[in-house]
Structure 1
Amino acid sequence: MFRSIVENAPIGVLIIDSSDEVIFCNLMALSILLMHDETIVGRKILDILPEISILEKLPIQNKSYNGDAEIISILSADGNENYCEVQLSRPAGAHDNIKHIVTLTDVTRRVRALQAVQGQEHRWDLALQGSQIGVFESDLRTGTGFASQTWFELLGISKAKERDSDAEWHARVHPDDLALVVSSDAQCIEGLSEKSEASFRMMVQDGTWHWMKSILRVTERDGTGKAVRLLGTMVDITEQKRVDELKDDFVATVSHELRTPLAAVYGALRLLSESMSMSASEKTKKLFGMAYRNTSRLIQVVDELLDFQKLKTGHFSVEMSRVDIVDIVNQVGIDNELYAKKYEVTLIVDTPKKSIFLNADPLRLKQVLTNLVSNSAKFSFPNGSVIIRIELEKSNCMISIIDNGHGISSDFSKRIFIPFSQQADHLTRNSGGSGLGLAISKSLIELMSGEIGYHSEPNVETTFWVKIPVMS
């Protein structure tokens, strides 16, 4: 019965005697080795499997794995390479004539699957090296990290073997950037954000500081929801930072250089308008009006560039105070009434009779609301209306600007608050603007601890809203 079980076992079994000859071979061994019984029994094991050498352990040439179990390849009749795991043993109490028992397991599928994964990993490594993207993984249970060769090469480290990427990161990150990155990562680890995205400086191997950008996500949590594994990417953005700084310096310099002469031209035009006689020709008045309007528009663009530059570099501050939003909205309505009429649009102000007080910068809040109202007027259809409405929403005050104009296209909605973004040309060609208004408005409102957003149904109704906490 025992012999029958062994003969039909799902693994191959060979019994080797003291002279290294095969004295028993089961059916599965014949199948794995692609042989017949008469070609195996009585032959030396090294004649059948020349890749192995029968000793106390099983040393195999061209072995894939260390240990008692080794993998060898077997070439089939059709030229395909199959794989077999070979293991040597000699159980206690075995007959003196039995030197070894060799078990054979067909692992062709497993090896080919592993080769496919390794091939894919190699291709990914080549792609990541070509794009200079470093990949890192952190095990929060052990506090250790592993990273790709490219990740280490970004730091100027050529030999990355046995290096802990987490330890390297903590040793090299700039002290002034550490707290910000750790805080961003903690938000992701605790499940408060989908990912952690941060820019920071790291000291590379030559002792210089390089700017890096990383994106990190939680890839595994335990049964309690606690994060246990992180995966992320890192790229070197030093050159991008340098170019951005050059652009910022250029914009700031040009804006400052333009601001003074433009102010002088604008002042001169205003003085001329006051002294211009009623007898001036229509052509003169038309040319003067064109110069006055375009100078005013240029000053607005320059002011927006300067505001944007200050906001981007962190040199902009708001002067917070107790303000009556009802009063500010009424002022915005009065100030923009003529502007709306220019586009044949009626401006409607819908405010409560009682004052509502907010902690905000009155000048900058008025700037934001003026920008939203002027945009709504510009993109409304003739004979349409723009409504400015104040509503209380729990502990917040919501100011809504509603119009029935062109609305926001699906394409523009993805980049509406990105600097220098504008709607399609056919809508904005004659409307002016720098494409900075909404980006500046968003930054200003966030500096005042508020929110800004919108919802739009093109050609039906669009609402931009600003939400700021009400003072208790």
Structure 2
Amino acid sequence: MRSQLAGLDGAIETSADRSMTSRFILLFMVVAMAATGVGIFAIFQIKLTADRREQVNHTYAVRSALRELNIAMVEAEAAARAGSASGPTAKDRITRSTDRARRALATFTELTRDNPVQQRAAADMAPRLDDYLLDVSLAAASIMQQDGFEEVTEAQEGLAAAIGSALVEEERLLALRLDSTASSLAQSERLLVGAVVLAVLAMGAAFAVVLRELRRRRRSEAVLRDQSQILTTTFDAMAQGLVVVDLDCRVAVINRAACALLHVPQDVDFVGRPFLDLLAIQVGLGFFSEEEARQRVDQLAADIAAQRSSQSEVTRRDGRIIELHRRSYPGGMVTTYSDVTERHRTERMKNEFISTVSHELRTPLTSIRGSLGLIVGGAVGEVAPKVREMVSIAHANSERLVRLINDILDIEKIESGRLQFDIRPQPVGDLVTQALKDNAGYFQQYDARPRLADEAPGALIRVDADRFMQVLNNLLSNAAKHTPAGGVVQVQLARGAGRVRLSVGDDGPGIPEEFRSRIFGKFEQADSSDSRRKGGTGLGLSITKAIVERMDGRIWFDSTVGVGTVFHVEIPEMVVAPMPASAAPRGDDADPRPAILVVEDDQDVARLLTLMLEQNGWRVTVAHSAADATARLAVTRFAAMTLDIMLPDEDGLSFFRRLRLSPATRDLPVVVVSAKAGNARKELNGDAIGIVDWLEKPIDQARLGRAIRQAIGAVEGPITILHVEDDPDIVRIVGVVMGDGVNVVAASTLAAARVRLATQHFSVVVVDVGLPDGSGLDLLGEIRRLVPPPPVVIFSASDFDPASTTHVAAALVKSRTDNSTLHQTINGLIRDLVPDDVDGER
């Protein structure tokens, strides 16, 4: 592993080099910018100094021109004074002096074009010079007298004064320009000194940075070496195998655990080799075929190209199960390998244990609890008072044991995500009322009285009815336990903001402040003595919270120590479109006549069906669409329904299947009245459970009457139940629970049940799922094909997947069902099969 991380150390050093280089670059840029600024300023100063030197030289040139003019004047005068003695030579000298003076004046004029003062002086000197030179020439030519030279002297004095004035101006300019030049030179000196200082500081800073970076690099290298060692040790100590491949599917890192899982020799360095070489070892050991190895490499390359992460399990031919977690990164793919064979074995053992607990404990507990319940209830005759007391204690503790087992199994399912929910619209008021009835024993045991305030009449919520009843039972039983003797348990239903709120309050001691944060935890109770005094496992609220949240709800509480506690549960309300006033069912709720729902979009046909049915003494409600029918079924219980297949808003068969998914309409008898009844019957095939007859249009009134009478009850003779159950104690208990008026026929296997169903008609079929020769659910398809199919009750020790109980009338778990619930469920199905007499009594 150490050699495999050498590249990583090099990468770390490269990173440190890059860090140091970046700091040098930054320093160099700062120095370069400063030097550039100094250079630009120096260039500016040099140019300024050069310009000022140019101006000084220009001033000197002007002064030279003026002096040249003055010298030429002097020479001309001297030549004129000596003209009588010199002859032609004096004339030449005068001419040369005159030319020299004019050139000097022209030079002065040219050099001072940018100086208005000097230009005026040059303009003044030009005529004076001409006059002066003319006088000199005339004097020289005529050998003038002394007074003639006096005139020349006067002209000379005027010209000399002009020249002197110009010289004074140039002296002034020269002084200014010399001062400016001196100032520029001083600034240049200061700039030079500043540049030297900056260079020294830059060199010092560079040296300091280099020194600090060297020290920092040494520290960083030491830290990185330690980290590299920690990383190496960590990789090698990992229980998971780790393989990192680059973009070319070559191995970059492989740790010891990966070598062990992949059977790679420890002394072989695979870094830099193709990943296929690793799989070749697996192929050689017979774990994979060569084709499978190539497919895995191709899949890995595709995942790297797509930067796709994944998770999978691979079962090798030796039976080991390897779990792979792949995480992509820009340079390739990181894969971890875990041998999960033992975990799968443990999960399988846990599932087998749960199955054992579910069946081997629930089934005998059902027999024990059922038998004790029958004795306590007096179903087997009177018993001595002392015996009754002992049996009551045994019965109460059997109930406690059943609740404990159910809670533990529920917690396991919640944690494993296997808790099943059958979410459907339910009237919350009915559920609460039923829960209050179911918990009447608790209220009586703890001398508490429930008080219901329903401020949300008719509210519908989408919940699993059984699980929501479990929530209600937990909250109501807790409130009953903690309410003082003679106290009241307040139960309130309210609606608002699209949600329905259930509140259950007690007048108990309240929840201690230090316990409130743990109240929804597993096995949590405010006082350990509560478990003995009040009973319970401390799992109820944890299960309640999980169930409520799975149904898109929330639960919380308000508590005041010494005053009491109120638990609140909120569930989204299901809104049903209001039914038009004109479509309200005729007759009042006290009308004893069976109510028939006619679902027919043709108004004339609907009117005809209404007349036919009313002639037979039935109360009729008409719905012209599937939505209209759904709304009416939500608020009214009907004895039967006629259904047209051709509806305007939904296919009639789809509507029928939807009815069978709802507990409220699952067992509603249906008579199909349609022009396409035959085709629909073929399409629905085995799913036609609950359809009494198929009537083609035009309607046969007599057959319609017979079908409706059959739908609302046409069973003659004794009630016979087929109980498919391999435990004879459970069969015996169910027979006693149902009483002498019901004949219970037992079948202990699937084969025996099939024989019974083929030779005898049963009013109700009770089926256990776990049978010696298969699953009791296998019978459902055969039962649906019977004419007419009897209602089915699943009565088993196992919890059910809602999808498996779509076509049954009821599904009961043995340990969750007491004798009263079992009796009410089966007896309710039997009552639905017995026809009403004329007075509306059964």
The TM-score normalised by the length of structure 1 is: 0.54
Q: What amino acid is the match of 1:330? A: T
Tell me the CA shift for residue 324 of structure 1. 1.0
CA–CA distance in structure 1, aligned partners of residues 407 and 429 of structure 2 = 26
User: In structure 2, how many angstroms separate the alpha carbons of the residues matched to 1:293 and 1:286?
Assistant: 11
Cross-structure match for 1:40: none
**Deviations 1:373-406 (CA, angstroms, capped at 9, x unpaired):** 2123334555655433323242222223334445
Contact 1:255 1:305 (8 Å CA) reproduced: no
CA distance in 2, matches of 1:232, 1:402: 54
Partner AA of 1:369 in structure 2: L
Which one of the candidate residues 561, 583, 591 is aligned to 1:459? 561
Pair 1:111 & 2:208 matched:
no
Other-structure match for 1:391: 494
Using a 3 Å threshold, how does the CA distance of structure 1 residues 231 and 414 change in structure 2: closer, same or farther? farther
Aligned with 2:402 (options 294, 299, 304) = 299
List aligned pairs for 1:35-434, cutoff 5 A: 105-106=210-211, 107-120=214-227, 122-123=229-230, 126=233, 130=237, 132=239, 149=255, 156=262, 161=271, 201-203=312-314, 208-211=320-323, 239-273=342-376, 274=378, 280-281=384-385, 283-307=386-410, 317-352=420-455, 354-380=457-483, 385-403=488-506, 404-407=508-511, 410=514, 413-414=517-518, 416-418=520-522, 424-434=527-537
Q: Which has the higher strand share?
A: 1
Greater Rg over alpha carbons, structure: 2
Secondary structure at the counterpart of residue 429 of structure 1: helix
Gaps of 5+ in 1: 1-61, 71-102, 186-197, 217-229
Alpha-carbon distance in 2 for matches of 1:410, 1:234: 44
Q: 1:454 to 1:203 in 2, by over 3 A?
A: same
Q: Distance in 1 between matches of 2:391 and 2:510?
A: 32
* Equivalent AA in structure 2 for residue 112 of structure 1: R
Which structure shows the higher helix fraction? 2
Residue 259 of structure 1 and its aligned partner are, at CA, apart by: 1.9
CA contact (8 A) 1:134 1:147 kept: no
Contact 1:154 1:235 in 2 (8 A): no
Residue type of the alignment partner of 1:108: R
Query: What is the alpha-carbon distance in structure 2 between the residues aligned to residue 466 and residue 154 of structure 1?
Result: 53
Distance in 1 between residues matched to 2:499 and 2:491, nearest whole Å: 17
Q: Is the 8 A contact 1:379 1:407 kept in 2?
A: no
- Calculate percent identity across the aligned residue pairs: 24
SS of residue matched to 2:511: coil
Q: What CA distance in whole angstroms lies between the structure 1 residues aligned with 2:454 and 2:392?
A: 35
Residue 294 of structure 1 and its aligned partner are, at CA, apart by 1.2
Give 1:315 shift. Answer: 5.8
Deviation at 1:425, TM superposition (A): 2.3
**Aligned counterparts of 1:231 and 1:405: Cα–Cα separation in 2:** 57
User: Counterpart of 2:73?
Assistant: none
Q: Distance in 2 between the 1:457 and 1:147 partners?
A: 58
The CA distance in 2 between the partners of 1:161 and 1:405, in whole Å, is 69
Shift of 1:422: 5.5
Aligned equivalents of 1:241 and 1:346: distance in 2? 50
Structure 1 stretch displaced more, 110-119 or 121-130:
121-130
Q: Secondary structure of 1:319's partner?
A: coil
Letter in 2 for 1:280: A
Rounded Cα–Cα distance in structure 2 between residues aligned with 1:155 and 1:336: 57
Q: Which residue does 1:74 correspond to in 2?
A: none
- Whether contact under 8 Å (2:427, 2:460) holds in the other structure is yes
CA distance in 1 between counterparts of 2:383 and 2:363 reads 32
Counterpart-to-counterpart distance in 1, 2:232 and 2:216: 24
> Counterparts of 1:455 and 1:115 in 2: how far apart (Å)?
57
Relative distance call for 1:367 and 1:117 in structure 2 (3 A) is same
Asked if the contact 2:499–2:572 (Cα under 8 Å) also holds between the matched residues in 1, the reply is yes
Deviations 1:41-73 (A, max 9, x none): xxxxxxxxxxxxxxxxxxxxx9x9589x79xxx
CA distance in 2, matches of 1:450, 1:471: 12
Q: How big is each residue's C-alpha offset from its partner over 1:425-447, in whole Å with a ceiling of 9 and x where there is no partner?
A: 22323433345434443444455
C-alpha distance 262-145 of structure 1, shift in aligned 2 (>3 A): same
Q: CA deviation at 1:306?
A: 5.0
Unaligned runs of 5+ in 2: 1-9, 19-206, 280-294, 328-332, 576-842
Q: Using the alignment, how far apart are the partners of 2:469 and 2:518 within structure 1?
A: 26
- Alpha carbons of structure 1 residues 235 and 331: separation in structure 2 relative to 1, 3 Å: same
CA–CA distance in structure 1, aligned partners of residues 336 and 560 of structure 2: 38
CA distance 1:243–1:114, shift in 2 (3 Å):
same
Over 3 Å counting, the alpha-carbon distance change for 1:388 and 1:268 in structure 2 is same
Name the count of aligned residue pairs: 339
Give, in whole Å, the separation in 2 of the partners of 1:297 and 1:235: 42
Moved more, 298-307 or 201-210: 201-210
The equivalent residue for 2:552 is: 450
Report the CA distance shift for 1:66/1:276 in structure 2 as closer, same or farther (over 3 A).
Answer: closer
Q: State the alpha-carbon separation in 2 of the partners of residues 411 and 240 from structure 1.
A: 35
